[in-house]
A and B are shown apart, each in its own frame.
Chain A
Amino acid sequence: MSRAETDEAAEAEVWAGGGAGARAGAVRAPNPLWRLGLVRSEIGTVFRRWRTLALLAVLAAVPVLVGIAVKIQTDDGGSSGGGAGGPAFIAQVTNNGLFLVFTSLAATLPFFLPMAIGVVAGDAIAGEAGSGTLRYLLVAPAGRTRLLLAKYATVITFCLAATLVVAVSALAVGALLFPLGDVTLISGTTVSFADGLLRAGAIAVVVAASLVGVAAVGLFISTLTNSGIAAMAATVGLLITIQILDQIPQLHAVQPYLFPHYWLSFADLLRDPVYWDELLKNLGLQALYAAVFGSAAWARFTTRDITV
């Protein structure tokens, strides 16, 4: 049994990623992780695209821009902007470079990060269909459900990678331009730099998890169409629309159910003691979106006719 399935996985891999066939030998050995073959080839395909690398480069540039802007402003003698306007935590950046991580994540989370996710998620199925490779993927007996799961896992991996790119770039820029040291939490408590770094890591994971919902929505939209561009545009357009709806005070009754509503709650990890209410609400909401739109994508993808 496992023999046959291993063959399927290997075969799927050959079909899935252009150069992945070379690695098929490694997967051929009976291995409990054989299921990951498809995922690995998908991840490889996505991260080898120039488009993906360009997206990550743009994300990595954001902390550089923010860091340089703050540096120039404070070198002119002006004190740190006073906190009025600008992304959260920006007033603290001059005292501690680690805050550039939080500032950059707060600055990219509303738009840049989800936009990048929307591009990758929207392209996942529709892009394959558009370029005519989807039916070859399906000729391999890997099964549609497994292909969809592999695609979703890839998008989630990209969420994490994109967040980490922003965080690591911000940490590097922060360390270069500003002093590092003990971290003052927003409750006024001071913790060691190691503790601060730990919290920064936790925040990066929470931010990545905050994008799980929009990834599921993007994947669902991607199963609806054969045009990759249409799916990306629809996902990003939906994202902007929902962000706007989240700002209209008259709609406060529905806002707690919009996926970006609790995004900024990652800052609650910087309170002492940590304020869990909104963090948990955020994670629960993302899980709900993932369940609803993930199963909708599954329903659509496993029942539709693939003609191209």
Chain B
Amino acid sequence: MPRIRPTHEADGADGAEGPRTGRRKAVRYGVPVAVAGVAAATIGLVPALASSGDPDLPQITAQDLIAKVAASDTQQLSGSVKVSTDLGLPSLPSGMSFGGSGSGNGGKGGGGSDASPQSKLTELAAGTHTLRVAADGPDKQRLSIEEKAAEYSLIHNGDQLWGYDSASNSAYHATVPKDVGNGGHGKGSDAAKGLQNASPQELAKQALAAVDGSTSVSVDGTAKVAGRDAYQLSVKPKQSGSTIESVRIAVDAKNGVPLKVTVNAKSGGKPVVDAGFTKVDFGKPAASTFDFSPPKGAKVTEAKDAKADAERKGGSDLFTGKGKGDGNGIGAGQAEDWAKSFGGGAKGDSEVNVTGQGWASIAEISMPKGSTPGKSGETGKTGKGSGDDASGLMDSFGTKVSGKFGSGHVFSTRLVNALLTDDGKLYVGAVDKDALVNAANNAK
């Protein structure tokens, strides 16, 4: 029993040695250092080991891979998605759109307390967010944006669409027709699109939809995403003038589901958009996942009220400006914007004049004289401000340019550039400044 002695110096656990306290001291101080070292090594090495060793997969051509994505009929999945966007905008107030074609929530004040999907999905345009998605066929989807100690959930189940914002305890409700998924242009599918558009699956499909002669597609190695083997599909615009360097899509080798989408800008640096599953499960989600009833005490906004509200505030362009004509295009505007940014604005809208092709296409929008530039979304901060107030702001936000067309302001982000001429025309595209000026010159 070595402990039966006055422990004047130390615990008797290894008290056999006497005077060599200096060495013992060093050994003991080595313990915390070793613990910290092991921890640091684990933190540093484990992700490196996990990500190294790209999986060995059979060769596949780009065409086959695209066909695989198109043929993928995975309807059921659940998982976590991490979305990082760096558009090079000043930090966005919530409810501000980054998108190109004149929609946006500029006319709507106080978007933060609004549980409608438009205002929430735009928040994804800046920063890093964690989403959780679940889908079971075309009728049932759920998307949750995880915030700090709060969450925004969007639940689509049959003909019901609910949004719930826990931070303000408010809900948003809309009814959509049941035949979702068949019509393609039905209101419901717009809603569903709005719901899904942040998932890598949809983003990739949008990007692939833009694939045509102006694009080079190749298979560029393999990767492991969310623990699954995947092919890397690299999509590059052939045209000059585009702000997009490349879009990389990781496609699940087994079922063709896109797992990760990365958009790189010509200007280099961090990817403009990096959206990928961090966890994915292709099993059937529990049915209760898609149940929702408005909680007690929650403020519920009906979609119709929201529409009237928006129109009263002069935000009707949100619904009509897209040429869809359906007042309930929930999230569709956003989906289109989003898709456009990816597809380089390849798809035209009926009320918008598109020049150029593929990635380098530029949308030309005539704005009513004296209307607020704030509605462009690019200058959303001006909000409802009158034109006079706005011009001062525009000088601080944009760069002044002039050419054959006259003069105007260019508003730049890393992905989308916009030229607003002084006579009220707006040119928007995922192209550089010179291409916009050329387009304006040619339009004259």
Partner-B contacts on A (CB < 8 A): 1, 4-5, 8, 79-80, 82-84, 88-89, 91-92, 94-96, 106, 138-139, 141-146, 181-182, 184-190, 257, 264, 267-268, 271, 275, 277, 288, 291-293, 295-296, 298-300, 302-303
Closest to A183 in B: B295
Question: A88 and B148: CB pair below 8 A?
Answer: yes
Contact with A along B89-108 (1 / 0, CB 8 A): 00000000000000000000
Q: Residue B151 at the A interface, CB < 8 A?
A: yes
In whole angstroms, how far apart are the Cα atoms of A142 and B171 in the complex?
A: 61
Question: A89 and B151: CB pair below 8 A?
Answer: no
Question: A267 and B296: CB pair below 8 A?
Answer: no
Question: A299 and B31: CB pair below 8 A?
Answer: yes
Question: A303 and B10: CB pair below 8 A?
Answer: yes
Partner of B29 from the list A257, A271, A275, A299 (CB cut-off 8 Å) is A299
Residues of B within 8 A of A257 (CB): 43
Partner-A contacts on B (CB < 8 A): 1, 3-8, 10-13, 21, 24-25, 28-32, 35-36, 39, 43, 80, 112-113, 130, 132, 144, 146, 148-151, 153, 155, 162, 164, 166-169, 171, 288, 291-293, 295-299
**20 new A-B pairs (CB below 8 Å) besides A95-B297, A296-B31, A303-B10?**
A8-B4, A83-B150, A88-B148, A88-B149, A89-B149, A92-B166, A144-B11, A186-B166, A187-B164, A187-B166, A188-B164, A188-B295, A257-B43, A271-B144, A275-B80, A292-B35, A295-B31, A296-B32, A299-B29, A299-B32
Q: Chain B nearest CB: distance from A202 CB in Å?
A: 15
Given known contacts A82-B113, A88-B149, A275-B146, A188 and B166 CB-to-CB distance under 8 angstroms: yes
Given known contacts A188-B164, A288-B39, A141 and B149 CB-to-CB distance under 8 angstroms: no
Question: A91 and B168: CB pair below 8 A?
Answer: yes
Question: A302 and B169: CB pair below 8 A?
Answer: no
Residues of A within 8 A of B35 (CB): 288, 291-292, 295
9 interchain pairs (CB within 8 A)?
A138-B7, A141-B7, A143-B7, A143-B11, A189-B288, A271-B146, A271-B151, A292-B39, A299-B32
Partner of B112 from the list A84, A92, A145 (CB cut-off 8 Å) is A84
Closest 9 CB pairs of A and B: A88-B149, A95-B297, A184-B295, A186-B166, A188-B164, A267-B149, A296-B32, A299-B28, A83-B168
Closest to B29 in A: A299
Residues of B within 8 A of A79 (CB): 299
Question: A188 and B155: CB pair below 8 A?
Answer: yes
In whole angstroms, how far apart are the Cα atoms of A5 and B1 in the complex?
A: 9
Question: A295 and B32: CB pair below 8 A?
Answer: yes
In whole angstroms, how far apart are the Cα atoms of A302 and B14 in the complex?
A: 11
Residues of B within 8 A of A267 (CB): 148-150
Question: A4 and B164: CB pair below 8 A?
Answer: no
Question: A145 and B13: CB pair below 8 A?
Answer: yes
Residues of B within 8 A of A139 (CB): 6
In whole angstroms, how far apart are the Cα atoms of A88 and B329 in the complex?
A: 32
Given known contacts A146-B11, A298-B31, A303-B25, A91 and B167 CB-to-CB distance under 8 angstroms: yes
Partner of A181 from the list B28, B296, B298 (CB cut-off 8 Å) is B296
Residues of B within 8 A of A88 (CB): 148-150, 167
Closest to B34 in A: A295
Residues of A within 8 A of B32 (CB): 292-293, 295-296, 299
Q: Chain A nearest CB: distance from B337 CB in Å?
A: 26
In whole angstroms, how far apart are the Cα atoms of A145 and B15 in the complex?
A: 12
Q: Chain A nearest CB: distance from B431 CB in Å?
A: 31
In whole angstroms, how far apart are the Cα atoms of A92 and B170 in the complex?
A: 10
Residues of A within 8 A of B12 (CB): 143
Question: B169 and A298: CB pair below 8 A?
Answer: no
Q: Chain B nearest CB: distance from A38 CB in Å?
A: 13
In whole angstroms, how far apart are the Cα atoms of A125 and B31 in the complex?
A: 20
Given known contacts A292-B36, A303-B21, A188 and B168 CB-to-CB distance under 8 angstroms: no
In whole angstroms, how far apart are the Cα atoms of A8 and B24 in the complex?
A: 25
Question: A91 and B169: CB pair below 8 A?
Answer: yes
Q: Chain A nearest CB: distance from B335 CB in Å?
A: 22
Q: Chain B nearest CB: distance from A96 CB in Å?
A: 8
Q: Chain B nearest CB: distance from A97 CB in Å?
A: 12
Closest to B30 in A: A299
Partner of A141 from the list B6, B31, B112 (CB cut-off 8 Å) is B6
Closest to A92 in B: B169
Closest to A186 in B: B166
In whole angstroms, how far apart are the Cα atoms of A4 and B5 in the complex?
A: 12
In whole angstroms, how far apart are the Cα atoms of A295 and B295 in the complex?
A: 48
Question: B10 and A144: CB pair below 8 A?
Answer: yes
In whole angstroms, how far apart are the Cα atoms of A296 and B30 in the complex?
A: 9
Residues of B within 8 A of A146 (CB): 11
Question: B166 and A8: CB pair below 8 A?
Answer: no
Residues of A within 8 A of B164 (CB): 187-188
Question: B149 and A143: CB pair below 8 A?
Answer: no
Residues of B within 8 A of A188 (CB): 151, 153, 155, 162, 164, 166, 171, 292, 295
In whole angstroms, how far apart are the Cα atoms of A271 and B10 in the complex?
A: 49
In whole angstroms, how far apart are the Cα atoms of A188 and B30 in the complex?
A: 50
Partner of B3 from the list A8, A291, A295 (CB cut-off 8 Å) is A8
Closest to A287 in B: B39
Residues of A within 8 A of B80 (CB): 275, 277
In whole angstroms, how far apart are the Cα atoms of A95 and B297 in the complex?
A: 6
In whole angstroms, how far apart are the Cα atoms of A188 and B6 in the complex?
A: 63
Question: A275 and B169: CB pair below 8 A?
Answer: no
Question: A264 and B148: CB pair below 8 A?
Answer: yes
Q: Chain B nearest CB: distance from A16 CB in Å?
A: 14
Residues of A within 8 A of B144 (CB): 187, 271
Question: B168 and A141: CB pair below 8 A?
Answer: no
Question: B31 and A186: CB pair below 8 A?
Answer: no
Residues of B within 8 A of A8 (CB): 3-4
In whole angstroms, how far apart are the Cα atoms of A292 and B54 in the complex?
A: 35
Partner of A83 from the list B28, B39, B151, B167 (CB cut-off 8 Å) is B167
In whole angstroms, how far apart are the Cα atoms of A259 and B28 in the complex?
A: 24
Question: B7 and A144: CB pair below 8 A?
Answer: yes
Residues of A within 8 A of B7 (CB): 138, 141-144
Residues of B within 8 A of A84 (CB): 112-113, 168
Closest to B91 in A: A249
Partner of B28 from the list A80, A142, A298 (CB cut-off 8 Å) is A298
Question: B148 and A190: CB pair below 8 A?
Answer: no
In whole angstroms, how far apart are the Cα atoms of A88 and B171 in the complex?
A: 18
In whole angstroms, how far apart are the Cα atoms of A83 and B148 in the complex?
A: 13
Q: Chain A nearest CB: distance from B4 CB in Å?
A: 6
Q: Chain A nearest CB: distance from B433 CB in Å?
A: 29
Closest to A80 in B: B169
Q: Chain A nearest CB: distance from B172 CB in Å?
A: 11
Residues of A within 8 A of B155 (CB): 188
In whole angstroms, how far apart are the Cα atoms of A18 and B168 in the complex?
A: 53
Residues of B within 8 A of A106 (CB): 149
Q: Chain A nearest CB: distance from B329 CB in Å?
A: 23
